[in-house]
C-alpha cells in the first residue's frame, strides 16, 4: 500500500511530501527532472498527468491524483484523522477551507504565470513587465493573508490549532518573494512556517526539500 509521489525537491510536491511524512504513510519519491527545461521530463509525467505538473500522486489503488488541495482533503479522509484538516464539526473548518482554496486558487498560480512568463507572453520585454506585475500582485495577496492571520492571533494559521495550512507556509515561505520579504512584510507568516517546518515529524522531508 505505497503512495508514489512524482516530485522535485523544493517544488510544489513538497506540500504533499510533508503530509505523507506527517501521517506516516508509506511512499516512494520519484524525481521527475526539471519540467521547465526538459521536454523528456514533461513527456514522461504527461502520461500520468496531462498538465505535466507536480504534485502528481499515484494512490495505492493506481488512481492518479493531482492538485494539492484535493490531495490534502483526500489524505485526511483516508487516514480518518483531523489533525491536519479540521473535521466538519470543528470551529476552524470554514476558515481552513476558505484559505486552503484561496492559496491554491490565487497565490499558487502566481508561480505558474511568473516562473516562465514566456509561456504566456512571447515578446521578451513584455514578458519582463508581465512578470513584474504578477510578482507585485503576488505580494499583495500575501499581505492580505498576513493581515487575516494576524487578526486571528495565532500561534497557527487558523488560530490555536495546527493544520495543513501551516505546512503550506513551511513550504511557500521558502519561495518568492523570499524569506527577507516575509521577514519584513509578513513576519507572522514566516514565524508560523518556521515553527511548522521544525516539527520533528517533518524534519527529514524539510531537509530533503530545503536543506
Residue 98 and residue 191 share a domain: yes
The average pLDDT across 59-84 equals 98
Residue 102 and residue 191 share a domain: yes
Q: How many CB atoms lie within 10 A of CB 28?
A: 12
Overall size of the chain counted in residues: 211
Q: In the prediction, which pLDDT does 50 show?
A: 98
Residue 12 and residue 98 share a domain: no
The sign one gets for the Cα dihedral 110, 114, 116, 117 is positive
Name residue 4's beta-bridge partners. Answer: 28, 58
Q: In the prediction, which pLDDT does 198 show?
A: 97
pLDDT of 114-155, one tens digit each? 999 999 999 999 999 999 999 999 999 999 999 999 999 989
Residue 188 and residue 104 share a domain: yes
Structural domain count, the chain: 2
Q: Look-up: residue for cell 507572522?
A: 188
CATH code where residue 100 lies: 1.20.1050
Mean pLDDT (the chain, rounded): 97
Residue 68 and residue 114 share a domain: no
The parent domain of residue 98 ranges over 93-199
pLDDT of 178-207, one tens digit each? 999 999 999 999 999 999 999 999 999 999
Residue 98 and residue 194 share a domain: yes
Q: In the prediction, which pLDDT does 166 show?
A: 98
Residue 62 and residue 11 share a domain: yes
* All three cell numbers of 68: 494539492
pTM of this structure: 0.97
Contact status, residue 49 vs residue 56, Cβ threshold 8 Å: yes
Residue 181 and residue 132 share a domain: yes
Residue 184 and residue 109 share a domain: yes
Amino acid at each position: 500500500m505505497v503512495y508514489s509521489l512524482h516530485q522535485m525537491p523544493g517544488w510544489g510536491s513538497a506540500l504533499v511530501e510533508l503530509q505523507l511524512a506527517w501521517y506516516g504513510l508509506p511512499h516512494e519519491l520519484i524525481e521527475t527532472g526539471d519540467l521547465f527545461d526538459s521536454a523528456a521530463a514533461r513527456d514522461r509525467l504527461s502520461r500520468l498527468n496531462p498538465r505535466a505538473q507536480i504534485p502528481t500522486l499515484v494512490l495505492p489503488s493506481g488512481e492518479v491524483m493531482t492538485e494539492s488541495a484535493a490531495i490534502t482533503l483526500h489524505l485526511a479522509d483516508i487516514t480518518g484523522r483531523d489533525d491536519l484538516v479540521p473535521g466538519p464539526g470543528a470551529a476552524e473548518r470554514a476558515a481552513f477551507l476558505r484559505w486552503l482554496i484561496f492559496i491554491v486558487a490565487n497565490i499558487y498560480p502566481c508561480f505558474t504565470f511568473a516562473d516562465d512568463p514566456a509561456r504566456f507572453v512571447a515578446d521578451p520585454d513584455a514578458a519582463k513587465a508581465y512578470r513584474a506585475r504578477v510578482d507585485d500582485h503576488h505580494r499583495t495577496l500575501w499581505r492580505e493573508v498576513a493581515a487575516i492571520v494576524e487578526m486571528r492571533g495565532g500561534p497557527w494559521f487558523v488560530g490555536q490549532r495546527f493544520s495543513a495550512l501551516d505546512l503550506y507556509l513551511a513550504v511557500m515561505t521558502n519561495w518568492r518573494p523570499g524569506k527577507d520579504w516575509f521577514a519584513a512584510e509578513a513576519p507572522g507568516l514566516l514565524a508560523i512556517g518556521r515553527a511548522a517546518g521544525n516539527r520533528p515529524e517533518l524534519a527529514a522531508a524539510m531537509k530533503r526539500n530545503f536543506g
